[in-house]
Amino acid sequence: MLVEGENYRTVWMEGSVVKLINQLKLPREFSVFSCSGYRDTADAIRSMVVRGAPAIGATACYGMAQAALAGVSLDVAEKELGTTRPTANDLQDAIKHFKKNFNGKNAVEVAEGYANKSIERCRKIGEYGEKLIKNNSKILTHCNAGWLGCVDYGTATAPLYIAKQKGRNFFVWVDETRPRLQGAKLTSWELMQAGIDHAVIADNAAGYFMKKGEVDLVIVGADRIAANGDVANKIGTYGKAVLAKENNVPFYVAAPASTFDLKAKTGKDIKIEERDENEIHFVENTRVTPAKSKARNPAFDITPMKYITGLITEEGILNPWEKPESLL
Amino acid sequence: MLVEGENYRTVWMEGSVVKLINQLKLPREFSVFSCSGYRDTADAIRSMVVRGAPAIGATACYGMAQAALAGVSLDVAEKELGTTRPTANDLQDAIKHFKKNFNGKNAVEVAEGYANKSIERCRKIGEYGEKLIKNNSKILTHCNAGWLGCVDYGTATAPLYIAKQKGRNFFVWVDETRPRLQGAKLTSWELMQAGIDHAVIADNAAGYFMKKGEVDLVIVGADRIAANGDVANKIGTYGKAVLAKENNVPFYVAAPASTFDLKAKTGKDIKIEERDENEIHFVENTRVTPAKSKARNPAFDITPMKYITGLITEEGILNPWEKPESLL
């Protein structure tokens, strides 16, 4: 997508260096983060320089290519890169893809190929999903399932970008998405770069606007989808889904087939990452809670299938109990 | 309540000066804010040095006393104090109380009497409500309907303080309550001062813990209650109520009878304050959204009566469609 007029992806390789848009600096500063080895790349995933399941997947694949170029054992690299984040299925998927397709000399091509396929999947999600967006629609989204979370286009945002390219007018409600504020910081930045009209709201206000009839459609991303259609996504997704159902607002999950984890029978089989409680205590380096108070910080939640209207995948829009054909 | 061992109220009068615990400085610093005239007192309400419906009411009543002591027309003072915040019914109630009971020389007694009655109402709310709190209960609360939002005891917190005084053990989930973080800053500070075990969570995480079965009871306050039992309270309350119902968690609203506004037939008759969008853009003086992005900031929402299990009032625990006897 364009950043001040220039075309960018979230992750790419120059020589043996993996380059990432530094998402920890956005929206204040647009800068590129360089990882000279696979361990730096693992650190970048861990510290959330890059985040979002497909972007993590592509970054890990480039990290595997770095390890291969440096002559590091792929098993050693897998151990390092594969344990950087616990929830994203794409991470494992990407590492497996690399190990399967690497023939001893095609490291960069394998990673490039993986990234290009990821982009093509997102573009298709956009093509299918844009049909849901009518002129003057008001769409709510949670967190950043945007192109910054992918390699390009995004998942939840792909329908928005394609609809915009097709000249449609619409408005987006952006949940700020505490604790890490990815909506306020990243989704709003993406939408501004794309010239899409939007407003950031407190997570607490989503239900208010739904009840007022000011939300026509919710589109969110997914970090993992269980075999029964339960969806693991950013904390707060479950609450928005319940509110959407209560207010008869269609609730769509946009995700590529790689997000499905059929080994997880239901959402109960998906491990939820609980992150450092300081993400609650501190906002932008200022402590907001009293010293010594306690906090809890689950990073994801499970939205049961029954709250979901449909799954927007690169293979079409599915009913929430269906799986992409390629997985059958 | 105790602050580091000393007994405090949120508002009191010394000579003609109204003193307030400065809630804008908490939890970092405990300090007392002095208002030397009724206009300063109005400013303090407007800028949220004091917040919470009963505390605003008592403060406005003290402000009326200041105006009376200074020989200012009560109508002029009413115009200034009565328009400081649009949602709290107690504000109008307190000003009316002052005008009705002031006989030309009892300014301070009228305000003191109003504040003392407010405390007694909260204590009774606590006595009725504490029966809902079993040993090892996990209670979720939203925003600060604590003693800082009243004169003493609080509304939603009064049952907690009385249960604690009676030796019961329990745990409190504290919604941080964006955008102003009153839960993270104030409720957690209150609970620490009282030695009550608790954890602050992102507003997004409330549904997650309800679904996990880790919330036995929700108690929130109210800014205004319509004749049909619809409740106006801090933005996000509606969402928690819907999630509580979906997860079979009892959802109680604790509020004195003065919170009822029988002129409002339903929630639709209650005007919702939309505050400055900079409360969304800035967190602790740091801009988190991109420069020039837009935000929307409704400060309250309406929770329809059907989501409410009961109303904890100073006249007993009512069904949500009932009104306190004193109003009939």
A39, A70 contact by CB (below 8 A) = no
Does B194 reach chain A within 8 Å, measured CB to CB?
Answer: no
- Asked if A243's CB is within 8 angstroms of B293's CB, the reply is no
C-alpha–C-alpha distance, residues A205 and A89, integer Å: 30
B283: chain A residues, CB-CB within 8 Å: 181, 283-284, 286
Q: Is the pLDDT of residue A88 over 70?
A: no
Q: Which of residues 207-266 of B touch A (CB under 8 A)?
A: 207-209, 211, 234-236, 238-239, 242-243, 246
Taking the C-alpha atoms of residue A152 and residue A55, their distance in angstroms, rounded to an integer, is 9
Q: Given B90, B93, B223, B301, which residue is catalytic? A: B223
C-alpha dihedral, A116 to A118 to A120 to A123, nearest 10°: -140
Q: Which of residues 7-66 of A touch B (CB under 8 A)?
A: 27-28
Q: Is the pLDDT of residue A89 over 80?
A: no
For chain B, residues with pLDDT lower than 50 are none
For residue B193, the SS3 value is: helix
Q: Provide CATH code, domain B2-122.
A: 1.20.120.420
Rounded to the nearest 5°, which phi and psi values hold at A233?
-150, 180
Distance CA B40, CA B84 (A): 11
| Positions of A marked active-site | 223
Q: Architecture of domain A128-327 in CATH?
A: 3-Layer(aba) Sandwich (3.40)
Give me the pLDDT at residue A54, please: 87
- What is the overall mean pLDDT for chain A? 96
Nearest to B39 by CA among B88, B72, B85: B72
Within an 8 Å CB–CB cutoff, is residue B293 touching chain A? yes
- Contact of A172 with chain B, judged by CB distance below 8 Å, is answered with no
Asked whether this complex has an ipTM greater than 0.85, the answer is yes
Give every CB contact of residue B291 below 8 A, 6+ residues apart in sequence.
A27
For A10, residues 6+ apart whose C-beta sits below 8 A from its C-beta are A20, A21, A23, A50, A52, A55, A58, A147, A148, A149, A150, A151, A152
Which of B312, B328, B33 lies closest to B153, judged by CA? B312
Closest CB from A234, A238, A288 relative to B207: A238
Look at the alpha carbons of A25, A30, A36, A38 in this order and tell me if their dihedral is positive or negative: positive
What is the model's pTM? 0.91
Residue A224: strand pairing partners? A232
Q: Which residues in B lie closer than 8 A to residue A28 (C-beta atoms)?
A: 287
Contact B290 A198 (CB under 8 A): no
* Parts of chain B belonging to CATH 3.40.50.10470: 128-327
Helix (H, G, I), strand (E, B) or coil at B232: strand
Interchain contact, B297 vs A209, CB within 8 Å: no
Cis peptide before A27 (omega within 30 of 0): yes
pLDDT digits (tens, 9 = 90+) for A122-152: 999 999 999 999 999 999 999 999 999 999 9
DSSP B290: P
pLDDT in tens, A13-29: 999 999 999 999 999 99
Domain with CATH 1.20.120.420 in chain A: 2-122
| Residue A87 pLDDT class (50, 70, 90 cuts) | low
Mode of pairing for the β-strands spanning B217-220 and B251-254: parallel
